[in-house]
Structures are given as C-alpha cells and as structure tokens.
Amino acid sequence: MATRHKNKNGDGYCRKIEKGRWECTIMSKYINPKTGNEKRIKRVGATEDEARRNAKQALKAWEKDYDQNEAWNVFNSIKLLTHQEMLAIDKDLNAKVAQE
C-alpha cells in the first residue's frame, strides 16, 4: 500500500482536471467579506507546480489588497471619529457663546 503524501501548510489542494490540466485551491487566513465564509482561491495550470504557484500568487495579491483595505477602513474610522469629536467641540463652543 502506498503512503499518502502530506502537503505543507498553505500549499492547498491540487487535483487533475480535464485535458491534463491541474487545479489548485488554497484557503486564505481571512474571511471573505462578501460571503462571510473562508476565502478560497482557485487557479489552473499546465502542471501541478504551475497551478500551485498561480494560486499562491493570487492568494498573496488578494490578502495584500485585503490588508490595505482594512488599514484604509481603520484610518477612515479614526478620521470620522476625529471629525465627530470636532463637531461636538464646536457645538459646545457655540452653546457657551450663546449663553454669554
């Protein structure tokens, strides 16, 4: 009986599909914001190594974009909070001026 090959973590799952091509699926460490499920990246290649390389490259690009968007969302939240604080301060100052 043949021993089963164990992939390293992050290598994904590869399978042979029609016409001798290979498909590789890799799961991201992030949740897909559109679906709420784990993000899966699928890529096809002429060989198993090419499919795996394409999938890893696409995953790396998606996670980089995700990280940049998350940083942008945090930045906008801080900016919005600062703007809200400024409005509250302005409102307090206007109230004090009206009392005088």
Q: Mind listing the pLDDT tens digit for each residue in 24-73?
A: 999 988 888 788 888 899 999 999 999 999 999 999 998 888 887 776 66
- Please report, rounded to a whole number, the percentage of residues in the chain having pLDDT higher than 70: 78
Please give the residue that has the higher pLDDT: either 77 or 14. Answer: 14
Q: CB–CB of 22/12 below 8 Å?
A: no
Q: CB–CB of 27/1 below 8 Å?
A: no
| Residue 77 confidence (pLDDT) | 61
Instruction: Break the chain into its structural domains and give their ranges.
Output: 13-99
Measure the CA–CA gap between 66 and 57, rounded to whole angstroms: 14
pTM of the entire predicted model: 0.62
| Residue 32 confidence (pLDDT) | 82
- pLDDT category at 1 given cuts 50, 70, 90 is low
Measure the CA–CA gap between 77 and 88, rounded to whole angstroms: 16
| Sign of the four-CA dihedral 27, 62, 37, 14 | negative
